[in-house]
Amino acid sequence: MIAIGCDHTGIDLKNEVIGYLNKKKISFVDFGTNQTEATDYPIYAKKVGHAIVEGRCEQGILICGTGIGVSMAANKINGIRAALCHDVFSAKSTRLHNDANVLVMGARVIGAGHALEVLEAFLSTNFSGEERHIRRIEQLEN
């Protein structure tokens, strides 16, 4: 199960992501927002992050204007490894090396076509499981 969230700037890109997930028959929960009025990105980052650390979802996707605000908010939660990726290489690498559990994108930074390629790379790449990467990930926790 994938948790998805965005602020008001990310609704269109989130809908593109939802279309992709539906096409691939990947289950998801949409934590909003779906309102175009300005809202606060930490609300949605926390909803997605908590759904993952509480075991209700395995991975998450977060979108705000730059991707930076939701990254900051999500990475405050112990157990969340949110990776801001605007290219396929980073998306693959963060799964292989960091076992990132949240993909973050900036709706004002990346176009939908490229974003879906980044998403596909993220979702189709497994963590390497290598000892050095496990050791480093463990050091991320408080």
| CB-CB contact of 78 with 53 (8 Å) | yes
Nearer to ligand RB5, 5 or 69 (CB): 69
From 8, 127, 131, 10, select the one nearest 62 (Cα to Cα).
10
Q: Which of 6, 50, 57, 64 is catalytic?
A: 64
User: Cβ of residue 108: shortest distance to ligand RB5, in angstroms?
Assistant: 7
Query: Which listed residue (2, 3, 5, 7) binds ligand RB5 by CB under 6 A?
Result: 7
**CA 24 to each of CA 8, 20, 27: distance values in angstroms, whole numbers, following the listed order:** 25, 6, 9
Nearest position to ligand RB5, beta carbon: 69
| CB-CB contact of 64 with 70 (8 Å) | yes
What are the structure tokens assigned to 26, written together? 């990947």
- Taking CB under 6 A as the criterion, which residues in 58-97 touch ligand RB5? 64-66, 68-69
**CA 7 to each of CA 55, 84, 123: distance values in angstroms, whole numbers, following the listed order:** 23, 15, 22
Query: Which listed residue (17, 30, 31, 41) binds ligand RB5 by CB under 6 A?
Result: 41
Mark whether 133 is an active-site residue: no
Q: For the chain, how big is the Rg over CA atoms in Å?
A: 14
Mark whether 97 is an active-site residue: yes
User: Cβ of residue 92: shortest distance to ligand RB5, in angstroms?
Assistant: 24
User: Cβ of residue 130: shortest distance to ligand RB5, in angstroms?
Assistant: 32
Active site residues: 64, 97
Contacts with ligand RB5 by CB under 6 A lie at 7, 9, 41, 64-66, 68-69
